[in-house]
Structure 1
Amino acid sequence: MNIVKKYGFLIGVSALLVTACNSRLEVQPTQQIDASQALASEQDVRITLTGAYDGLSDVNLYGGGIQYMAELLGDNRDVIFGGTFATLDEIWRKTVSTTNLDARDLWLDGYNTINRTNNVLAALDKVGTANRGSYEGQARFIRGALYFELVKAFGKSFNDGTPAQNPGVPLVLTPTGTVGDADSRPRNTVAEVYAQVLDDLTKAEQLLPATQANGFGFATKGAAQAMLARVYLQQQNFAAARDAANRVITSGTFTLAPTYAAVFTDNSPEMIFKIVITDQEGANPGGTNALNTYYAPARFQGRGDIRVQPKYRQLFGATDVRGQFFTTINNLVYTNKFNDRFGDVPVVRLAEMYLVRAEANLRLNATTGAAPLADVNAIRARAGAAPLTAVTLADVLLERRLELGFEGQQLADIKRTAGTVGTIAYNANNLVLPIPQREIDTNKKLVQNPGY
């Protein structure tokens, strides 16, 4: 059996270098590799970091899978899944099997990419002082973001029971080179995983520059701050969430796009972090805009598997342009957010930071940065929606649903607010993905989630 497939971790560095550098195509994967030889120079570390970004952009990760899986699992007939892929239909219906391929690949690709970051972090002594901090910050951002996504998907919500006891996912913080008994690791607790996520992202914020010389699609200080805001909000640490969001907003690095349609263009000024897709990458499994694949109809080169229902569209006011941001074909309705097949994939954007700050300030009866009403109305004004004269928590949560629909935040919002998906409670077993059966079969220290 292939070792990579068996354990879900990328074995050694040779596989990364094969995918990241054509000149090394003759390097053969192996069960054991001397990492000190594989990463012998700063160029090798840079190539490996490029491989980590390539992994992050995989269709099962931020290339789209993380976003659409969270939306489908948290959906209550805002959309209908009309496609033929049984694994996605299972997720939408909340009947996920332990052999579900999408859940398996989220785990596998997540850990493969984390291992690439671990290789970078273990070889920082090969990097000159000019780039060392940036390389470390980028690797920590990727690792922290992925552990956050994995623990949300495969563990109980932070507000469900006791995080210090609930099983999360295994923390692997050093490169996996030789696979043996030591690689059969138990699940760390939810609290332990969150602590590692915060450690990685906090250090990333300290180390990363405000902008990257090599352009968009690379982690920056703002990206780390925005991800910290998400993590703290999920933990219900509202002061820390507000302050992280406020640092993004007041940095001046990002501005709201002038129109809602302009948000979803490749030159949008409010994208804090995104996966950059090119024409060349679009034909490859690691570079396809998977949100286009499932949300856009054939007219825009997608499959049109996810169709928007009246239940969702009726939430918008008459003047709200977001309520018309759809395409109707043969009485089937599709969001216009992802119509560009080679469009960059949004991960986190400035509008979300305004809404995080608004919610946190409202909960804390504070006005740090701006009053909650002002922040919510800033988002509504861009959409042409009627301004509110007063704002409640329900107003802010609804605004998140209207503004961020289909971008991967629905399930997380339902869980952290102890809501429901229809009649399904936020802490129901079937709103947590099963540990993939292939992992259970090969790692006897893993414990399956309840209900599976």
Structure 2
Amino acid sequence: MKKKVYIYAWALSAGLFLATGCDSKLDVKPTQSIDENAALSTSKDVEVTLIGCYDGLQDIDVYGGAFQFASELLGNDGELGFGGTFQNMLEMYNKEITTANATALSTWRDSYVTINRCNNVLSALDIVDEDKRARIEGEARFIRGSLYFDLVRLYAKAWGDGDNGSNPGVPLVLKPTRGVTDADKIPRNSVAEVYTQVLADLTAAKSLLPETNTNYANKYAASAQLSRVYLMQSNFALARDEANTVIESGEFSLVPEFGSLFFTFLNNGGSNPDEYIFSMIVTQQDGVNEMNTFFGTTITSIPGTAGRGDIRVLPKHRALYETGDARGAFFVSTNNTFTQKHLDKFGNVLQFRLAEMYLTRAETNFRLGTVIGAAPLADLNMIRTRAGLKAATAVTLASIQKERHLELAFEGHALHDAKRNKQSVGALAFNSPKLILPIPQREIDVNKQLVQNEGYN
């Protein structure tokens, strides 16, 4: 019989392992638990645990690909085909998901493991060297806030779909779990409560993080994520302002050629292009790009390409591009057609890039009738002309949303853009229960306070 493991038990073991895994002491007796003071007793222990937070975030079932491909498969409206054999992904593609879906389970579990690592870091800030404390708190809160945002977007009703204050979101666990009792088996917080916590974490992260932080989260990564959160809430003014903050920072720039954005290992030695705000770093030694696994394929003429070739691009999508659009040519065809965005086996897994911020600023300025940073038409044309198209002479909400759809295709936006704009996905309304992942049945079996989402038995 397989042993059932509660999410917080997983979080406990993983979080404490990372906090102590580099300990050179060899005389520690085997035990099923470790004293908190021994696990997190020095600033270095906390720093190691923070690296564990990034390791968890990089997991293939978290920001290493699952959050992104789940959005693309669930939000697909006849523009993608699926030819793979994994049942979990076929269920999402067909919008016929079961409570035993492997992605729904692994993404939930591994996200909470990572959240618990963040909670361990945040619980021990008083022992962190003073000159590092603000940055470490900011990074942990950025990761925790980001994960709660993406969890509530996938496992709960969208913001504005009914009563945010009563719709069940996901459980908010804000303290380390170092032993599971009935008190740890908590119900789902409301969607509104989860968003409140997300905004608290990300706002704090923005104030604490430095402007530059090598490959780790910085102030502008927090602003980019805040922009997404506010856009999901239709808080257009704040979404605009956060996007504008990133653009006006001068830390990032649109690369001249669209095609140079995505081969970070093959063409850029593993370095991010200037347009990237934040990504999951993948190397030959560590990390897996799960978007490559499923969207990518091996092209013999391009050494270093790989992938199963499970997710294919259909004619309905390709027909959306204007003649001369470089993005419309960024595909490769064998027996099927694939996007070139995810061909690089060791390519970094993109989370935010500057083009998204321009498109967010264009949309929100247009909706509000404002010209913060630049006029909507100017921002729209920044994206169009980079793609090799003529500058538009007029702008509408529909034209901005079309550019967003084409520019950010296959990067994890499909489902969430459909929901926030209340657009149907095929025959399904934006608020169909079929577009929400189930709470994993294993979690409900061990925590009777968790209620299942509508439409699942």
Q: Same fold (TM over 0.5)?
A: yes
1:444 corresponds to which of 437, 448, 455: 448
In the alignment, what sits opposite 1:227?
A: 225
- Mapped partners of 2:323, 2:4: distance in 1: 56
Q: Structure 1: which 5+ residue stretches go unaligned? A: 282-286
Change in CA separation of 1:416 and 1:26 when aligned onto 2, cut-off 3 Å: farther
Change in CA separation of 1:81 and 1:27 when aligned onto 2, cut-off 3 Å: farther
Change in CA separation of 1:134 and 1:449 when aligned onto 2, cut-off 3 Å: same
- Mapped partners of 2:7, 2:141: distance in 1: 26
In the alignment, what sits opposite 1:278?
A: 283
Report if aligned partners of 1:14, 1:28 keep a CA contact under 8 Å in 2: no
Report if aligned partners of 1:76, 1:422 keep a CA contact under 8 Å in 2: yes
Question: Is it true that 1:205 corresponds to 2:210 in the alignment?
Answer: no
Report if aligned partners of 1:14, 1:29 keep a CA contact under 8 Å in 2: no
Cα deviations by residue, 1:83-136 (Å, 9 ceiling, x for unpaired): 010110001110000000100001000000000000000000111110000000
Report if aligned partners of 1:359, 1:396 keep a CA contact under 8 Å in 2: yes
Question: Is it true that 1:329 corresponds to 2:339 in the alignment?
Answer: no
Report if aligned partners of 1:17, 1:24 keep a CA contact under 8 Å in 2: no
In the alignment, what sits opposite 2:290?
A: 290
Q: Structure 2: which 5+ residue stretches go unaligned? A: 265-270, 300-304
* 1:17 Cα deviation after fit: 3.4
Residue identity (%): 53
Cα deviations by residue, 1:398-440 (Å, 9 ceiling, x for unpaired): 1111000000011000000000101100000100100000000
* 1:14 Cα deviation after fit: 2.5
Change in CA separation of 1:289 and 1:32 when aligned onto 2, cut-off 3 Å: same
Letter in 2 for 1:49: L
- Mapped partners of 1:386, 1:424: distance in 2: 35
Report if aligned partners of 2:6, 2:443 keep a CA contact under 8 Å in 1: no
- Mapped partners of 2:178, 2:29: distance in 1: 14
Listed as ranges, the matches of 1:294-309 within 5 Å are 294-299=294-299, 300-309=305-314
- Mapped partners of 2:282, 2:24: distance in 1: 23
Report if aligned partners of 1:415, 1:427 keep a CA contact under 8 Å in 2: yes
In the alignment, what sits opposite 1:398?
A: 402
* 1:386 Cα deviation after fit: 2.3
- Mapped partners of 1:253, 1:190: distance in 2: 33
SS at 2:11 equivalent? coil
Report if aligned partners of 2:276, 2:353 keep a CA contact under 8 Å in 1: yes
Letter in 1 for 2:292: N
Report if aligned partners of 2:19, 2:40 keep a CA contact under 8 Å in 1: no
Change in CA separation of 1:327 and 1:164 when aligned onto 2, cut-off 3 Å: same
Report if aligned partners of 2:278, 2:350 keep a CA contact under 8 Å in 1: yes
In the alignment, what sits opposite 1:284?
A: none
- Mapped partners of 1:7, 1:132: distance in 2: 26
In the alignment, what sits opposite 1:247?
A: 245
Report if aligned partners of 2:282, 2:289 keep a CA contact under 8 Å in 1: yes
Letter in 2 for 1:90: E
In the alignment, what sits opposite 1:388?
A: 392
Letter in 2 for 1:171: L
- State the TM-score, normalizing by the size of structure 2: 0.94
* 1:26 Cα deviation after fit: 9.2
* 1:206 Cα deviation after fit: 0.2
Change in CA separation of 1:122 and 1:56 when aligned onto 2, cut-off 3 Å: same
Listed as ranges, the matches of 1:31-430 within 5 Å are 32-212=33-213, 215-216=214-215, 218-264=216-262, 265=264, 266-281=271-286, 287-299=287-299, 300-330=305-335, 332-430=336-434
Report if aligned partners of 2:7, 2:109 keep a CA contact under 8 Å in 1: no
- Mapped partners of 1:26, 1:386: distance in 2: 69
* 1:27 Cα deviation after fit: 7.4
Q: CA RMSD in A?
A: 1.7
Report if aligned partners of 2:381, 2:391 keep a CA contact under 8 Å in 1: yes
Count of residues in Structure 1 that have an aligned counterpart in Structure 2: 442
* 1:229 Cα deviation after fit: 0.1
- State the TM-score, normalizing by the size of structure 1: 0.95
SS at 2:179 equivalent? coil
Change in CA separation of 1:26 and 1:160 when aligned onto 2, cut-off 3 Å: farther
- Mapped partners of 1:24, 1:208: distance in 2: 33
- Mapped partners of 1:243, 1:132: distance in 2: 27
